[in-house]
Structure 1
Amino acid sequence: MVFGLLSVIFVYMELTPELVDHLAHLSRLHFSDEAKKEIQEDLQKMVAFVEKLSEINTDGVAPMLHMGQVFNVLREDEVKGSIDRTTALKNAPGASDAFFRVPKVIKK
């Protein structure tokens, strides 16, 4: 369905040098005339590829969000022991009340 919609859009879209200039302006990029011609040719190839994809019969094929299977590779959370605040502050080079003291890093 998506490729069909893109195909309809691209059929009516002519890739002109003016369109390449407009895209370059929107992107805040500057290209030589030779580069613009090359970009126009590349865009035409991309549009042709999408048009070719729209010819594929996808009836009965479920839409995909990703090209492959995505699995959650994160481990399960486990409750583990940790040192208490008092022990952590004893190991610190400097402490003030319940906080670590660190050298000043912002000059004012």
Structure 2
Amino acid sequence: MSLTDADVRRIARLARLRVSDAEVSEVGRQLNGIFGLIEQLQAIDTDGVEPMSHARDVALRLREDVATAPNRREAFQAIAPAVENGLYLVPKVIE
């Protein structure tokens, strides 16, 4: 795939990037290089390769999903200026 200067200008406009006329050819060259690398990666045969979640064969240690901190909602809400049905009430700031 090869991008034209018009393609580069359109991509820059869509990405909200300011690219001067002097930079268009260099940005186009860089983008074409990136697309070339993508084409190389897509050409690799990955049949039979199992997807990995990490580059190294590692497993995360899992722990039990157990609450370790006590529920202190009542203590915190006791000092709040305004509470209703377990929720903190705050003044309206947007009219």
- Map 1:10-29 onto structure 2 (within 5 A): 13-29=1-17
Task: Give the letter aligned to residue 25 of structure 1.
Answer: R
* TM-score normalised by L of structure 2: 0.60
Looking at secondary structure, tell me which structure has more helix per residue: 1
Alignment pair present for 1:82 and 2:65: no
Q: Where does structure 1 lack aligned partners over 5 or more consecutive residues?
A: 1-12
- Map 1:37-56 onto structure 2 (within 5 A): 37-56=25-44
Which has the larger displacement, 50-59 or 34-43?
Answer: 50-59
* TM-score normalised by L of structure 1: 0.54
- Per-residue CA deviations over 1:20-76 (Å, capped at 9, x if unaligned) read 011112122221122221110111111111222233222211345x55468666743
Judge conservation of contact 2:8–2:24 (CA < 8 Å) in 1.
yes
The Cα of 1:15 is off from its aligned counterpart by: 0.5
Asked which structure has the greater RCO (Cα within 8 Å, sep 6+), the reply is 1
Task: Give, in whole Å, the separation in 2 of the partners of 1:52 and 1:101.
Answer: 56
Identity of aligned residues (%): 30
Q: Cα RMSD (Å) of the superposition?
A: 3.7
Q: Where does structure 2 lack aligned partners over 5 or more consecutive residues?
A: none
Note closer, same or farther for the CA distance 1:73–1:24 as it changes in structure 2 (3 Å cut).
Answer: farther
Q: How many residues align?
A: 93
Greater C-alpha Rg = 1
